Amino acid sequence: MAIKSILAVSLCLFCVGLNAQNETEDTTAVQSTSVKASLQSYSKFDFIPGAKVIFYNDFNETAVGDFPPAWNTNTSGEVVTTNLYPGNWFKMIGEGSIALDEGMKLPDNYTIEFDVIPQPSAANDNGFDFGLYLYSAENPKDLNEGGAVPGLKGGIKMTFGYRSAYDAYDETGYTISGIKEDAVMEPGKKCRLSFWIQKTRLRVYLDERKVFDLPKVFKTGMQCNMLRFELWNSGAPMITNFRIAAGLPDTRNKLMTEGKLVTYGIYFDVNKDVVKPESYGTLKDIAAVLNEVPDVKVKIIGHTDSDGDDAKNLDLSKRRAASVKAELAKSFGVNAGRLQTDGLGETKPVAPNDTPVNKALNRRVEFIKQ
- Segment 229-275, tens digit of pLDDT: 999 887 789 999 999 999 888 898 899 999 999 998 888 776 788 88
Got the DSSP string for 169-218?
EETTEEEEEEEETT--PPTT--EEEEEEEETTEEEEEETTEEEEEETTSS
pLDDT at 208 > cutoff 70: yes
Q: Name the strand (E) or helix (H) holding 56.
A: strand 52-57
Relative to beta strand 89-93, strand 96-100 is unpaired
Alpha-carbon span 217 to 158, nearest angstrom = 12
> pLDDT by residue (tens digit) across 349-360?
999 988 889 988
pLDDT tens-digit map of 159-171: 999 999 999 999 8
pTM, to two decimals: 0.86
Q: What average pLDDT score do residues 339-344 get?
A: 96
Domains within the chain, CATH numbers bracketed: 52-246 (2.60.120.560), 251-369 (3.30.1330.60)
CB atoms within 10 A of CB 271: 17
Please work out, in degrees rounded to the nearest 5, the angle formed at the alpha carbon of residue 258 by the alpha carbons of 255 and 263: 45
Q: What is the dihedral of CA 110, 227, 225, 145, to 10 degrees?
A: 160
pLDDT of residue 23: 37
Beta carbons of 275 and 324 less than 8 angstroms apart: yes
Q: What is the pLDDT of residues 268-295, one digit of tens each?
A: 776 788 888 999 999 999 999 999 999 9
Note whether 254 and 53 are within 8 A (CB): no
* Nearest Cα residue to 324 out of 310, 334, 314, 313: 334
